[in-house]
Structures are given as C-alpha cells and as structure tokens.
Amino acid sequence: DAGITQSPRYKITETGRQVTLMCHQTWSHSYMFWYRQDLGHGLRLIYYSAAADITDKGEVPDGYVVSRSKTENFPLTLESATRSQTSVYFCASMTSGGVTDTQYFGPGTRLTVL
C-alpha cells in the first residue's frame, strides 16, 4: 500500500545539470501535480496532469518539463538546473477532479542546486 512515492528524497546537483524527480502513485488517480515549497511562500503549483499524455502549466512552470506516458508516473525534469530551483518539491495526486476531491501528497524531494 505504497500510495504516492517520490524519489530521490534528497538530491544535490550543480548549476546547469539536468535533474529528474520521480513521482509514482499506486491508486490509479487521474490527476497528478507538482508543487515547490520555499521559505516565505506557500506551495506553488508547477505543472499538473489530468490524465496520461495531458499536462498543463501551473503558476511557476518556467525551467521545468513534465511528461506523463503512464497514469502512475509523473516525472519532473529540470533541464538546466539553477540555484533558484533549490527547493522542496512535492508531488500529489487526486482521483478524478470531482467537485470535492482532495489531493494526496508524497513525502517530498529536497533539491539543492549548487
């Protein structure tokens, strides 16, 4: 009963490198989300996906790429990491986007870009 998992949990990388954060859910939820959380800010939505092969931008999409070839996976790629992308990243999923559906969050990935 893994639910929603993220890997790696911690990552240190250098400016300019490509980094991929993984998110996997076992519930077959239609919706998946990526957020970042920084001190002094609430969670901010980066990208979300309503189903396999359907993705849409959130509030802060610049510098990030997502894909969703399978319902259960939603990787987030930083194509050329910058120091401003140092943050804690949370993945979430939601059943079907119904009127009162709620989001379920993973444990987070702490990313440091040097």
Partner 1 sequence: DAKTTQPPSMDCAEGRAANLPCNHSTISGNEYVYWYRQIHSQGPQYIIHGLKNNETNEMASLIITEDRKSSTLILPHATLRDTAVYYCIVIKAGNNRKLIWGLGTSLAVNP
Q: Judged by CB under 8 A, does residue 27 bind partner 1?
A: no
The reply to whether 34 sits near partner 1 by the rule CB under 8 A is no
Tell me the pairing of strands 109-113 and 76-78: unpaired
- DSSP bridge pairs for 45: 35
Distance (Å, whole) CA 80 – CA 69 = 22
Contacts with partner 1, 78-97, as mask; x by CB under 8 A: ------------x-x-x--x
Q: Does 50 bind partner 1 (CB under 8 A)?
A: yes
CA distance 60 to 58: 6
Enumerate binding residues for partner 1 (CB under 8 A): 31, 33, 35, 40-45, 48, 50, 58-59, 90, 92, 94, 97-108
